[in-house]
Each structure stands twice: as structure tokens, then as C-alpha cells.
Amino acid sequence: MKSIIATLLSLFVFLNTYAAGIQFFEGSWEEALAAAKAQDKVIFVDAYAVWCGPCKKMAKEVFPNEEVGIFYNRNFISMQIDMERGMGLDFGKQYPVAAFPTLFFIDGDGKIVHQVRGAQSVEAFLNIGKKVIGMNDRSEDYAAEYEQGKREPELLYNYIRALNKAGKSSLKISNEYLRSQKDLTTEFNLNFILEAATEADSKIFDWLIEYRNQIARINSVDEVNQRIWDACQATAQKAIEFGSEDLVKEAISKVKKHYPERLSSFESQTWMEFYLQTNEVEKYIKTAKSYAKKEIYDDAKALQTLTTKIVRKFSDNKNAMSLAEDLAKRASDIGQVSIYHLIYADVLYRNGKKSQALEMARKAMDLAQNEGEPAIRMAQSIIQKLEG
């Protein structure tokens, strides 16, 4: 029965990465350009054709990858455009395609920054994205002027903005400037604080909170809230990376105090990621159980994502797999599609309940009849292996 484990594990990997992959922009091309300008980002365009095999391969294996999703969602506005219909017909007049897929990187002015033909592996696709960020990274230009002793406020603002955009630390430069200012309430300095408050465990973040209303009047409440959220997430990620429980608590306390509307989900997910990093399985199970009940009880996809994470990380822990079974059952109950039933079948099989797993796989087959040939083939494959 070893083959079913391999088959279903690959299914779990696919599903888990699918939930965490690239989030594609769904508006028009004009709206994407406007968003790119507003967010100072480059647009990534997957120019594909529905019949293209390599295009399908990237859509299945690369775009859903978790690392790809994290990187591209943070740094790009991403679009998929079918070049043979709809929006693609007009897009192709301005950006001709000679092979599929063609991967475009286009700035907010509509200028091509970079383009690549052909399907890419996960590693190659990440490297292409990093190359584009580097091509669009002006921080080294500002750094050269800074090293020459130039300290004009506009230069420093552009420098930290370029550092932030490139994912580099700007705190040293920001602190040096802001600590030299006698009046932090000028419009320029308030905008500087908004750009500079990249981490919640910093003095600059404290200034963001102190002058929050004034900054919001110049910009908007939404922009200030987004900066608070991003800074708290950055501190949480740092806490997880270094295994610092105190820093986790600080990030959570900042959200609780300054963005309470998003506290519950933030707190649970941060602790779960922390316990994953520190391999504290019982604490993870307790937190995950509470999170599932309070936050995602009626969200089949979120339940499925949590189930796959538990299976991949704690498949040898009885209590964890018991929770995974409960979550998978709930997802299959409310998500009446074959994939959730197959996930439940896998968890049942892993928990030694072969007959129940087979029954669930057969229910998945019933649902798959209305979902297309790929779903039918997957259900058939799993049923055959369970019956073997």
C-alpha cells in the first residue's frame, strides 16, 4: 500500500501550495497599471494559451508554490492573460507574443522591464523575479550619494523607499534622519515616518502611532492601518525566524492595541507558525483547534489548508492526526467537492481506517462526475489503490 501514500502525499503538496500560491489580479489591464503605479510595483504577466502544455505545467507546478506565492505576492502585481481571447487580443497588439508562455514584467507606465519565453522551474522563476527586482532597485544609486555625505531629506526619503521596495532594511537610515529632527509633525516628516515604520518593535513605529491621526489626514486611514499591519507582520516573522517568544508577544500586543479588528486571526496564526518553527506540537494542536473553531469553521478551503499543514508536519503524532481528521471531515461536510473528500479519505487511511477511507473516496468519485476528467482520474486512482 506504499503507492497510495506517495500518491496522496503528492496530492497534499499540490493542494497546500495551491492555497498559498500567487494571487492573480482580476481587474482590467488599465486597473493593473493604475495599481502598479500606486503601489510602485512591477506587473508580472503570464501570457498563455489554453492549449499550451508548458503553460499548464507552470500553472500546476510553479504558480501554486508557497515560496513563489510569498515572493510574487509581496513584490509584484500578477496577471494571467489568455492571449487568444478577451483582454489578450488587445494586450497582444501592444505586447506581441511569439511563444507560449511568455512571461512579461511591465512597469506602471506600460514599459517592459523584462520578458522571458518558455516555462520555468520554481527556482528559475524565483530567480527571474529577483533579477527584475534588482533591475528596478535604485537603492544602490542612493547609497552611493549617501556615502558621499549627502543628507538632503528628499534623498533620504527616496533612499529608504528604495530599500523598502527591495526588501532591505531601512531602519538605520530612517533613525538617523528622524532623530535629527526637532519637529516630527511637518508634512514631510509625517510622510517619512509612514514610509519608515517597517517593524513594530521600533521607535519609528511608536512615532507612527503617536502621530497616527495627523498622518492619516495627509494620506488616509487605510494607508496607516496597512502600514501598522505590515509592520506587525514583519515583527512576527522576525520573531518566528529567531524563535523569540517575547517578540511574538510584542507583535501581538501591538496589533491588539492598534489594530484590534485583526487581532484574533493574527494571534492564532502567529502562534501556530511559531510552534511549527519550534516544533512544539501540543501547543500547536491546542492553538490550531481554537483557530479552526473560532476563525475558519465555515471555510472549507482554509480547513483544508490547515489539515495539509498538520499532515505534512505532524503525521507521526496521534493527537495531531486526530485533529487533522476532524478538520478534514468538517471541510468535506461543507465543501461538497471531490477534493475535500479525497483529503478526508487520506487522513482516514493514515489513521488506520481503511474501510471508511474507501467509502469517502467513492463519495469523492460521485462528486467528481460533475467536475471533469482530471477529478475523475484522481478519484479513480485513489480508489484503485485503496482497493488493492
pLDDT in tens, the chain (388 residues): 444 555 555 555 444 434 458 989 989 999 999 999 887 789 999 999 999 999 999 998 899 887 788 789 878 999 999 999 999 999 999 999 999 999 999 999 999 999 999 999 999 999 999 889 878 788 888 999 999 999 999 999 999 998 988 878 999 999 999 999 999 999 999 999 999 999 999 999 999 999 999 999 998 898 899 899 989 999 999 999 999 999 999 999 999 999 999 998 899 999 999 999 999 999 999 999 999 999 999 999 899 989 988 998 899 999 999 999 999 999 999 988 899 999 999 999 999 999 999 999 999 999 999 988 888 988 898 898 888 7
Could you name the CATH architecture of 300-388? Alpha Horseshoe (1.25)
Q: What angle do CA 29, 35, 38 make, to 5 degrees?
A: 145
233 — phi, psi (to 5°)?
A: -65, -40
The ranges assigned to domains in the chain are 2-135, 137-278, 300-388
Positive or negative, the CA dihedral 25, 28, 29, 32 is negative
**What residues contact 87, with CB distance under 8 A and at least 6 apart?**
28, 29, 81
Residue 99, helix vs strand vs coil: coil
Positive or negative, the CA dihedral 299, 280, 255, 72 is negative
Q: CB count, 10 Å around CB of 233?
A: 17
Of 280, 279, 267, 192, nearest to 233 by C-alpha is 267
The Cα–Cα gap between 139 and 168 comes to 9
Residue recorded with cell 498622518: 215
Would you say 45 and 24 are in contact if contact means Cβ atoms under 8 Å apart? no
Q: pTM of the full predicted structure?
A: 0.70
Whole-number Cα distances in Å, 157 to 143, 149, 196, 226: 12, 15, 9, 19
Of 13, 10, 89, 100, nearest to 58 by C-alpha is 100
96 — phi, psi (to 5°)?
A: -60, 145
Residue 248, helix vs strand vs coil: helix
Residue 82, helix vs strand vs coil: strand
Domain 2-135 in this protein, CATH class? alpha beta
Rg (CA), the chain: 24
How far apart are the two ends of the chain, measured CA to CA in Å?
7
